[in-house]
Amino acid sequence: MSLITARWMSIAKEAVDRAAIVARFLCLLHVADTYLCSPTLVYGPSMFPTINITGDILIAERVSHRLGKVGPGDVVLVKSPVNPRKTLTKRIIGVEGDRIIFQVDPVNSDRCQRVVVPKGHVWIQGDNTYASNDSRHFGPIPRGLIQGKVLCRVWPPEGFGSLSH
């Protein structure tokens, strides 16, 4: 084997080794983001004042909802039952068996409606009653649509950690 061929084989081996390291890192990153926790940019009026209209970066963990460890008061990421391309951020108000009383149209009416959350479902609502598309519009959602539970806010810095409302 010539010196040039040996050198090219050495370079090729090093390139393959480095590519394998990058591939393993990307696989680990994918698994962590999909199944453990991930940062999420959330914006819009539906969770105001808990979440800023202009946007907050939140950390969501993706384990507890699989173990059935989410409940009333938890802020969760949910696949929209109306548009599966969208992810919603809402607060769980009730779980299966809970009786929920809600205003049908809080902007134009005081009319209330009652519903019992069916088995395997949760009732979600935005903290901003007047500007939230939630279970009041599409009903209880299956637990299977929950994608994660919000742990904390990481941006903006002045709101770091808190998600109180």
The pLDDT tens digits for 23-37 are 888 888 887 777 778
CATH code, residues 37-159: 2.10.109.10
DSSP state of 126: -
What is the pLDDT confidence band of residue 122, given thresholds at 50, 70 and 90? very high
Q: Of how many residues is the chain composed?
A: 165
Which DSSP string corresponds to 90-121? EEEEEETT-EEEEES-TTT---EEEEEPPTTE
What is the pTM (predicted TM-score) of this model? 0.77
What's the pLDDT score for residue 51? 84
Q: 141 is written with which tokens?
A: 């959602």
Task: Order the strands of the 87-95 sheet from edge to edge.
Answer: 37-42, 56-61, 146-155, 75-79, 87-95, 121-125, 141-142
Q: Which residues are identified as catalytic?
A: 46, 90
Task: Spell out the domain ranges in the chain.
Answer: 37-159
Cis peptide before 142 (omega within 30 of 0): no
